[in-house]
Amino acid sequence: MTTDHFAGDPRTNHERMLAGDLYIADDPTIAAAQKKAVRTAARFAAAYADDPDAGQAVLAELFGGVGEGTHVRAPVHVDYGDRITVGARTFVNMGLTALDVAPITIGDDCQIGPHVQLLTPTHPVEAQPRRDKLEAAKPIVIGDNVWLGGGVIVCPGVTIGENSVVGAGSVVTKDVPPNVVAVGNPARVIREII
């Protein structure tokens, strides 16, 4: 791997990642943060299996913020965890994959179906930068009172507006406005919600 991509950039790899700029994905400091998140996610799953309410306390250690009355089912899979915030009274079903290289914000009163994927990382299209293990990320925002059906995939940089519904299995590649139903691959708005 080469660092020529960053000549003259005094920032650390981790600082470039946090800024949303290209960074080297297999950096040892970043790997250590990921390992910590994997361990905390495993503790969450174990605690949840014994007592779902006790599991929520461990989840509060993993995520950057969890609103009152929110319930997340185990297991969850994250890159870091601390860049994920979930609002109040939201329900997240089992199997959430939230790759939080960039921030992921989930609003109040949301319903997240089983095996939803929230994917912030992006990779260069050009072959050599991918060989050099470069990636970046774009934040994801899920507005208040959004329902994501089972198996929905939300791609980097997407915002889903409040009160919208995304049908099961849909792949959301661009923003979804508020108060609509969107379905398909790629997801398209099929109707407004009145």
DSSP state of 6: G
DSSP state of 51: -
Q: How many CB atoms within 10 Å of residue 35?
A: 10
Work out the angle between the directed axes of helices 52-62 and 28-50 (0-180°, nearest 10).
Answer: 170
Bridge partners, residue 172, by sequence: 154
The number of CA neighbours under 13 Å toward the Cβ of 37 is: 22
Residue with structure tokens 């960039």? 102
Is 14 part of the annotated catalytic residue set? no
User: What is the largest distance, in Å, between two alpha-carbon atoms of the chain?
Assistant: 53
Catalytic residue among 5, 71, 115, 123, which?
123
The number of CA neighbours under 13 Å toward the Cβ of 160 is: 38
- Positions marked active-site: 123
